[in-house]
Chain A
Amino acid sequence: AQSVTQLGSHVSVSEGALVLLRCNYSSSVPPYLFWYVQYPNQGLQLLLKYTSAATLVKGINGFEAEFKKSETSFHLTKPSAHMSDAAEYFCAVRTTDSWGKLQFGAGTQVVVTP
């Protein structure tokens, strides 16, 4: 079975500082991995995805993530935080069945301080 673990339920970062959100996965097969962002009272928006092509994946809003098989990690980074990055971020792995459903981590709440 596939699963993801997000380290840190809350992260506080200063505006302009590096954003680093950690995600480790468990999968018996090469995984498809995703990062989603959720703003208050809204649905989830896809930031980026890893589907076994390039290990460094660039997404929207300046975010990127690197797939490291040896570390079973897929950490999300952004070089310079903006106030608009304040949101909840979810890492997810696609299950191996034919339906494509997603298994999500518990989420990391990002607070950006001026």
Chain B
Amino acid sequence: DTGVSQDPRHKITKRGQNVTFRCDPISEHNRLYWYRQTLGQGPEFLTYFQNEAQLEKSRLLSDRFSAERPKGSFSTLEIQRTEQGDSAMYLCASSAGTGGYNEQFFGPGTRLTVL
């Protein structure tokens, strides 16, 4: 068990470009979450997958954002036509189980800077 991994760790892009981030959860964790963290704030929920199904999307997730989790394994988060306001740390977390309390394990995050 190597923990949750995210790639890339840092991404610098120009406004208007598309970016894609990848998250590899702990193997056999069926729950996967994406959060966004801006400077000086706590993480904010973006979206949730149970296996391959995307079950909830936050209002923070505009139509420029899309997330997938094919085959219930790794997940990708794509931002189209990036804006400076998208600059943030994007965190992925995974947990096991389908009910009750299950600890979320966080990855190191992808820091996005939009110039």
Contacts and interface: CB of A to CB of B under 8 A. Distances in A.
B45 A98 contact: no
Interface in B3-24: 4
A37 to B, nearest CB: 11
Contacts, number: 61
A46 interface: yes
A41 B109 CA distance: 8
A103 interface: yes
Of the four ranges (under 10, 10 to 19, 20 to 34, 35 or more), the interface on chain A belongs to 20 to 34
B91 A51 contact: no
B50 interface: yes
Interface in A83-97: 90, 92, 94, 97
B66 interface: no
Interface of B: 4, 31, 33, 35, 40-45, 48, 50, 55-56, 91, 93, 95, 99, 101-109, 111
